[in-house]
Chain A
Amino acid sequence: MRIVEAGIIKDKVKSLAINANVKIRSDVLRALKNAYEGEKNRLSRSAFKAIIDNAEIAFKNKLAICQDTGLPVVFVEIGSSVFINGNITKIITDAVAQGYREGFFRASIQKDPLNRNQKLSYGPAIMHTDIVTGGKIKITLLPKGFGSENKSKLKMFNPTSPLADIEEFIVEAVKAAGATACPPYIIGVGIGATADYAGLLAKKALLISINSVNKDKQLAVLEQRLLKKINKLRIGAFGFGGKFTALGIKVICAPTHIAGLPVAVNISCHALRSASVVI
C-alpha cells in the first residue's frame, strides 16, 4: 500500500493545467515543421509559419497557445495499491480550475447548457478514471477546444458493413469539418465497444504520438490509407488549400457485440495539447 497525499496531486495537476495550455506537444510541433517544409501553397505556408511562431510566442510569454483553453478532459490511471488521502475527483477538478485561473486562461464552461445564463467557470473538468495494476498514478490533461469537438461524429454500423463504408464515413467527417475546426487536423477514431466507449476511444486516440506506428498491422495500413484520402480533400492549413488537411490519424479498436459496430470520430485542431504526469 502506497499512501499519496492530496496536496501532492494538487500541485502537480495545477502545473499540468498550465503546461498543457502553453506548451505545444513535441510530436505535433515536429509534424507541423515537416508540413511547413513540404507545403508549396502560398497561403498554407504562411498558415504553418503562423502556427509555429505562435507556439514559440506562447511558450516564451506563458500565454495559452489558443484562447480556447477547452473543456479540460482528464484521464486518470490509479494503481490498485495506491491509497489516496482525499477525494481524487474533487482534488483534480479543483486543481485544474486553479491552474486555469493562475494561468490567466479563459473561463469557458457554462453550467446551465440550456438556459446559458450562469457565470462562466473553469470546470468541472471531464474525468475518466481507470484502476490499473501497480503503485503509481498517471494523470493526463487534454484541453479540448470546441471548434473541433463540435465536429465529432458517431455512427452505428452493421456488423456486416464493409470497411470501405467505414472509411468513407471517417473521410466525410473530416470533409464536413472543412475549414471551421482549425486544420490541419489530427484525427482520432474509436471502433467497437459501445456508442459511449467508442467516443472515449476516439478521444484517447488523440493522446497517441503522431509519429508512432500502430502495432496492429491492419490498423497501421488503414491509418495510412485514410490519411492519404483525407489529404486528397485539399482543405489544407486554415482551409487555404494545399497538401496537409491532416497531420495524422490514429485508430483504436475494441471488442464489440455481434449485432453492432460503433465508429466514433474525434477531430482535433492543429492546437492539439496534452500533457501527463506520473506520481
Chain B
Amino acid sequence: MIKLEAPLTKEKIKKLHCGQEVVYDGMLYTARDQAHKRIIKLLKDNKKLPFDIEGKLIYYCGPNPAAPGKVIGACGPTTSARMDAFTPELLKNGLLGTIGKGERSQEVVQAIKRYAGIYFSTYAGCGALLAQRVKKRELVCFEDLGTEAVFSFEVKDFPLIVAIDCKGESIYEQSR
C-alpha cells in the first residue's frame, strides 16, 4: 500500500504505476455528468471556472446526503466512461487526474499520456466503506444539481488503485 499525500504534483503522479494500491490523504472535487457539461461550457465560452482544477483530482461521485451528525452518506464512484468526452479538455486545462470506476476511452488514455495525468479506480459499489474515509465535505458550486453538484472532500486513507498511469498503461488491458 502506497501513501499519497496532498499537495499532489506531476512528480508524485509519475512515480505511480498501473496496478498499484494507494491510500490518499488530501482533497478532491466531485463532479459527474451535469457538472461536467457545465464546466466544459464555461471553458468553451472562455469563462472563469467556479473552482480551480489546476493540479487537482476530480472524483466521479454523486454522494448520498449526511444523516444528522455525520459528514456524508454513501459516496462511491460512478461510471467514468460517461465522462470520457469531457476528460481530455479538463486534463488540457491543468486537471491532474480523475477517480471513478471502469474503463476509459482511447482518447482519454491518449490525453493521460500527453498531459502526464492519471486515472484511479476506487472501490466500486462500496459507498458505505468510502464514506468512513471522508472527513469533511463542502458544497463548491452548482447547488441546483442536487447530488450532481460539485463538492470538495477532505479524505483520509482513501483507497485508490492506479488504473491508468501516466504512460497510458491500463489495468483493464493487463488483467485480460
Measured CB to CB, the residues of A under 8 A from B are 41, 43, 46-47, 50-51, 53-54, 57-58, 61-69, 104-108, 116, 119-120, 145, 147, 150, 178-182, 233-236, 238-242, 269-271
A120 and B76 contacting across the interface, CB-CB below 8 Å:
no
Query: Known: A104-B64, A105-B73. Contact between A234 and B125, CB under 8 A?
Result: no
B175 and A47 form a contact (CB under 8 A): no
Within 8 A of A (CB), among B136-159: 144-148, 159
Among A51, A105, A181, which residue has its beta carbon within 8 angstroms of that of B79? A181
**Chain A positions within 8 Å of B81 at CB level:** 180
- Nearest-CB distance from A249 to chain B (Å)? 19
C-alpha gap A178/B172 in the complex (Å): 9
Q: Does B123 contact A (CB under 8 A)?
A: yes
Q: Is B128 touching A104 in the complex (CB atoms < 8 A)?
A: no
Our pick among B73, B103, B121, B129 for the contact of A54 (Cβ within 8 Å) is B129
Assess whether B74 is in contact with A63, with CB atoms less than 8 Å apart.
yes
Residue from B61, B78, B175 within 8 A of A236 (CB atoms):
B175
Question: Separation in Å of the A256 CB from the closest CB of chain B?
Answer: 33
Contacts A119-B144, A180-B103 aside, 9 further interface pairs with beta carbons under 8 A come to A50-B129, A63-B131, A64-B73, A66-B125, A68-B62, A69-B64, A105-B64, A236-B175, A241-B176
Please tell me if the beta carbons of A43 and B75 are within 8 angstroms of each other in the complex.
Answer: no
Contacts of A41 in B (CB 8 A): 175
B65 within 8 A of A: yes
Minimum CB distance partner of B161 in chain A:
A43
**In the complex, B127 has a CB within 8 A of chain A:** yes
Given contacts A54-B123, A54-B127, contact A64 B79 (CB under 8 A): no
Q: List 25 A-B contacts (CB under 8 A).
A: A41-B175, A43-B171, A50-B123, A50-B129, A51-B126, A53-B129, A54-B123, A54-B129, A58-B74, A64-B128, A67-B75, A104-B64, A104-B66, A105-B64, A105-B65, A106-B73, A116-B34, A147-B78, A179-B102, A179-B172, A182-B125, A234-B176, A235-B176, A236-B175, A239-B171
- Choice from B34, B64, B103, B121 contacting A67 with Cβ under 8 Å: B64
* Chain B residue nearest to A272 in the complex (CB): B125
Most chain B beta carbons < 10 A, residue from A64, A105, A180? A180
B interface list, Cβ under 8 A from A? 19, 21, 34, 61-67, 73-76, 78-81, 101-103, 121, 123-129, 131-132, 144-148, 159, 161, 171-172, 174-176
In the assembled complex, the Cα of A43 lies from the Cα of B148 at a distance in Å of 30
A180 to B61, CA, bound (A): 14
Instruction: Give the distance to chain A from B62, nearest Cβ to Cβ, in Å.
Output: 6
| Partner among A119, A240, A269 whose Cβ is within 8 Å of the Cβ of B125 | A269
CB distance from A122 to the nearest CB of B (A): 11
Question: Would you give the shortest CB distance from A82 to chain B, in whole angstroms?
Answer: 35
Q: Would you list the 9 A-B pairs with minimal beta carbon distance, nearest first? A: A241-B175, A180-B102, A58-B128, A54-B126, A67-B127, A63-B128, A54-B129, A120-B146, A64-B74
Closest residue of chain A to B146, judged by CB?
Answer: A120
Query: With the chains together, A9 CA to B20 CA distance in Å?
Result: 50
Residues of chain A within 8 A (CB-CB) of B34 are 116
